[in-house]
Structure 1
Amino acid sequence: MDKFDFRKSYPELYSPGRRDFALVQVPHLQYLAVDGHGNPNTSPEYAQALECLYPVAYAVKFRSKNELEQDFTVPPLEALWRAADMSAFTAGDKDSWDWTALIAQPEWITAGMVEQAVAAVAAKKDPPGIDRVRLLPLDEGLSAQILFVGPYDDEAPVLARLHDAWMPEHDLAFNGDHHEVYLNDPRRTAPAKLRTVLRQPVRPDSG
């Protein structure tokens, strides 16, 4: 049985360069998703979201393997971030952020399969917020991205350069939520070695 791997199938999304921002066309993808608000470093809601997402992701994986004979590697955690004022990102004002925690799912996974996986996890563990897990389709399209290496709290200057210099220089405007892909596990990785894809959907700036 072949095993689908997002990193191998979409290297342009998971292995960008780190020297400068580059444009990429992000295809239609779907994700397990949980919405929330607040600082991910201190918000119990964010920790609860991860405690729901991972069990559901593995429940979906095993159901797909056993019932459909289609296996896949559970991809890394991702998240969408949004704020009423985009300067909240460059200022590091994390308490004002809204977020959607994500784990990508292959195209053959259906909402019904996710609902069954949620019910199975709820029957065994019933973690807080399990009923908030849903399947989210996402069409980001044209996006600017870069690989950032280092602590999450050091991203602000890179995002300031994207927002205040690179995008204006290329006549681009915001066209969706800030997107991050966490390529390694912060519980097992030194902060200086954390690798994060920073992505921003964009569109031509009409002025």
Structure 2
Amino acid sequence: MEKIEWRKNDPSYRMSKKPQLLKLRAKNFFCINGVGDPNGEEFKRRIGCLYAVSYTIRMAQKSGWLIPDYAPYTVYPLEGHWGLQEKFLNEPVMLKEHFSYQLMIQQPDFVTSQVASEALTRAASKIPEDLVSQLFFTSIEEGMVAQILHVGPYDDEPETFEKLDVFLKEKGYHRTSKEHKEIYMSDPRRVAPEKLKTILRVTVEQDKPDEVSEIK
């Protein structure tokens, strides 16, 4: 039974300080939505839900649950898709309390909707009762994206986003949304802020010919 080596073989988790363009296929995730300051308790509770159901699948064989086509793997990293709550879109100053987010953890290809449903049932006792119904399993196809590795505190991300924006202009691409994704390759409970590794990702599309000429 060959282990799934996503750190080595999946380019979407490649940690490179050099910006890169990627076209991503559809992948399956457990997700949960939320709003507000990510430093608050609600954010932590939602993270815990995702890990509870993800590890239920990861440890399935040890619990006697035989999943078809199961292969050993390391649980994928936490990801967060970030935007603003609609009621705050026109605020002159952005505060963390204004955020909206979707947290997610990718699942291996052998995790079907049936496997996901069973995992949610098995993990229910480990998830706060008010959040069980908020967890869901879905397929997400991000398509064309640009990403870059940010090393350091989360609050310093704007500097790295500036580098990504310069790269996109040079390559003739532009962002399709102000929202972005963060992939947390470090555990902030165990890693010093200045050493945190976070992949920053945005969806992009190529400029039209007249837009490219303007950039040049």
Tell me which interval the TM-score lies in, with the shorter structure as reference length.
0.7 to 0.9
Unaligned runs of 5+ in 2: 212-216
SS at match of 1:143: strand
Deviation at 1:149, TM superposition (A): 0.5
**What do residues 74-94 of structure 1 show as CA deviations (whole Å, max 9, x unaligned)?**
111111112358999xx7632
SS at match of 2:133: helix
SS at match of 1:132: coil
**What do residues 153-207 of structure 1 show as CA deviations (whole Å, max 9, x unaligned)?**
11022224434x4434433232354111111110000001100111111012345
2-side partners of 1:22 and 1:87: how far apart?
A: 31
2:152 to 139, 150, 153: 150
For 1:168-187, what aligned pairs fall within 5 Å after superposition?
Answer: 168-175=169-176, 177-187=179-189
1:46 to 43, 47, 51: 43
1:132 aligns with 2:134: yes
AA at the equivalent of 1:144 = A
1-side partners of 2:61 and 2:202: how far apart?
A: 31
Tell me how large the CA RMSD over aligned residues is. Answer: 2.5
AA at the equivalent of 2:139 = P
Aligned residue in 1 for 2:109: 107
Aligned residue in 2 for 1:57: 54
TM, length-normalised to structure 1: 0.84
Q: Which has more radius of gyration?
A: 2
TM, length-normalised to structure 2: 0.81
> Quick check: 2:148–2:164 contact (8 Å CA) kept in 1?
no
Aligned identity (percent) is 31
Deviation at 1:111, TM superposition (A): 1.7
**What do residues 123-175 of structure 1 show as CA deviations (whole Å, max 9, x unaligned)?**
x2341412211112111122111111001111022224434x44344332323
Deviation at 1:28, TM superposition (A): 1.7
Aligned residue in 1 for 2:74: 73
Aligned residue in 1 for 2:4: 4
Aligned residue in 1 for 2:214: none
- Seen in structure 2, the aligned counterparts of structure 1 residues 162 and 126 have a Cα distance that, compared at 3 Å, is closer
> Quick check: 1:118–1:131 contact (8 Å CA) kept in 2?
no
> Quick check: 1:146–1:197 contact (8 Å CA) kept in 2?
yes
- Seen in structure 2, the aligned counterparts of structure 1 residues 197 and 107 have a Cα distance that, compared at 3 Å, is same
> Quick check: 2:52–2:126 contact (8 Å CA) kept in 1?
no
Where does structure 1 differ by over 6 angstroms across 4 or more consecutive aligned residues? Answer: 85-88
2:23 to 19, 22, 25: 25
2-side partners of 1:31 and 1:16: how far apart?
A: 20
AA at the equivalent of 1:73 = T
